[in-house]
Structure 1
């Protein structure tokens, strides 16, 4: 996944207390849909903060910027994202491109 990707979407999720398991399940459903519905999607990871179990960071790898933007612009994206976001007290997201590699 890393070697093929030039663009990334990422989320910093602060989940409401008591909803972490439900969040993980909905996030997985959201990204499974993404895998099936989005050309250019290469894969995703959701990582959990060991010190704060309601804090997660997600990364999704994309072949190109157009693929990532098409995913974010689809009506179904908005619906599915809203369901995951509703389980959070705070959520910050962004899009990124490779600046250098080691």
Structure 2
């Protein structure tokens, strides 16, 4: 997927109708900040559901679990996350680790 990594953070975002473009910009700003301010961040992707243009899934790749956790607890995380989240009807997030690679 994104470089050589074994840890990901991910979110499923259900954006309020009519707010998708604004959401994309806020998500981009959030992850641009992430890349500048957080060691261990390897890259991110935001993908859109072809059947529901207000539904998105995000993936961020991390060098290690400690880097991902430090990002979530860092100054500025909540403010930037909340800016994107404010445009959503629902959002679910989690962290993942590689179990099998083929």
TM-score by length of 1: 0.97
Alignment partner of 1:48 is 2:48? yes
Contact kept in structure 1, 2:9 and 2:95, CA below 8 Å: yes
Q: CA RMSD in A?
A: 0.9
TM-score of the aligned structures, taking structure 2 as reference length: 0.97
> Structure 1: which 5+ residue stretches go unaligned?
none
Unaligned runs of 5+ in 2: none
8 Å contact from structure 2 (residues 7, 63) kept in 1: yes
CA deviation string 1:68-91 (max 9, x = no partner): 000000120011001100000000
Rounded Cα–Cα distance in structure 2 between residues aligned with 1:87 and 1:48: 15
The alignment of Structure 1 onto Structure 2 pairs a total of residues equal to: 102
User: What residue is the counterpart of 2:23 in the other structure?
Assistant: 23
Could you list the structure 1 runs, at least 4 aligned residues long, displaced by more than 4 angstroms after superposition.
Answer: none
